[in-house]
Amino acid sequence: MMRSKFLSLLIRAPSVCRSMSTATKLTTIDVNDKTGIATLTLNRSPINALNVELLQDLNESIKEIEDNKSRGLILTSSNDKVFSAGLDLNEMYRPDKDRARLLWIKLQDVWLALYSCDLPTAAAINGYAPAGGCLLATVCEYRVMLPKCRIGFNETQLGIVPPIFCMFNFLNVLPRRVAERSLSQGQMFTTEQALQIGLVDDVVSSKGEALDKCTKFIDTFAKVNPLARSLAKQQFRAADLQRFQTERAKDLESFLAFINHPQMQEGLGIYLNSLKKKQQLNAV
């Protein structure tokens, strides 16, 4: 209630860029009054690891942007090196059972909200985007990336089966053969490789340029009837959405079984440690 009152006040404000930031600030929303395009920024320090709260916040922000009839949604990060480090591994290592369940449900919700989003969506990938980070980038309709970053689904490298929504995203973006190989090998691509295979549409040298490119992409729909555009998008995605709904419950149970497996727990512990060790080495 408070939130919508606050929003309506902001909407009337005559600023060029109005902010619809959520109270927790794990994501922020800025709507450009000139273009009507909303920029949704991931803002969980230090590396936008997707925990329950960030995913919940993302879901609310996506809904807010849709409800406020923005012309398009640009997803980006406040960190200048990392778009998103993917799922928060701490939510999966020695997990709290209820939180782990919630984590996966919220991830599914975010995927669903973006995959079926009525608005044109674009990702300004201003940093590393492994696994869940790649999921957020590839669920969008257009991607632009900064140089010297990496993107991909590294799940199989970690002994994890990539869930079906990773496959849907890749099949939307890459030729089937490339999608299958990248997913089954857990390939991480440099920005330049990503451009070459079509995983990203463009490479630019700054975040500002990335946002401009995303705006230009969304502007290509300016003269298209919004309902026709949205229904055409839904038509393309309907079969995936149907399959997702059919398999959603099973996918959740598979995730829970997977992370609760002792071998998976051991692997996660080692992996988390190696990430921490990397920082210790850098400090030496």
Ligand X SMILES: CCCCCCCCCC/C=C/CC(=O)SCCNC(=O)CCNC(=O)[C@H](O)C(C)(C)COP(=O)(O)OP(=O)(O)OC[C@H]1O[C@@H](n2cnc3c(N)ncnc32)[C@H](O)[C@@H]1OP(=O)(O)O
Name the site residues for ligand X (rule: CB under 6 A): 46-47, 49, 81-82, 85-90, 128, 130-132, 154-155, 160-161, 163, 251, 254-255, 258, 275-276, 278-279
Please check whether residue 185 is in contact with residue 155, taking contact to mean a CB–CB distance below 8 angstroms: no
Quote the CA–CA distance of 198 and 178 in Å, as a whole number: 10
Nearer to ligand X (CB atom), residue 109 or residue 251: 251
CB of 18 to ligand X, least distance (A): 31
CA distance 36 to 257: 43
Here the tokens at position 171 are 């099949």
**Cβ proximity of 218 and 120 under 8 Å:** yes
Least distance between ligand X and beta carbon 245 (Å): 15
Residue with the shortest CB distance to ligand X: 86
- Whether 252 is a known active-site residue: answer no
Cβ proximity to ligand X: between 190 and 254 the closer is 254
Of 90, 101, 145, the C-alpha closest to 123 is 145
Angle, CA of 221, 151 and 276, to the nearest 5°? 140
Nearer residue to ligand X within complex by CB, 64 or 240:
240
Q: Which of 123, 102, 125, 114 is nearest to 51 (CA)?
A: 102
Among this protein's residues, is 256 annotated catalytic?
A: no
CB of residue 276 vs ligand X: minimum separation in angstroms? 4
Tell me, yes or no, if 152 is annotated catalytic.
no
Residue 154 falls in the annotated catalytic set: yes
Q: How far is the CB of 196 from ligand X (least distance, A)?
A: 21
Contacts of 32 (CB under 8 A, 6+ apart): 16, 17, 38, 39, 215
- Is 7 or 164 the residue whose CB approaches ligand X more closely? 164
Task: Give the residue numbers annotated as catalytic, written as ranges.
Answer: 87, 132, 154-155
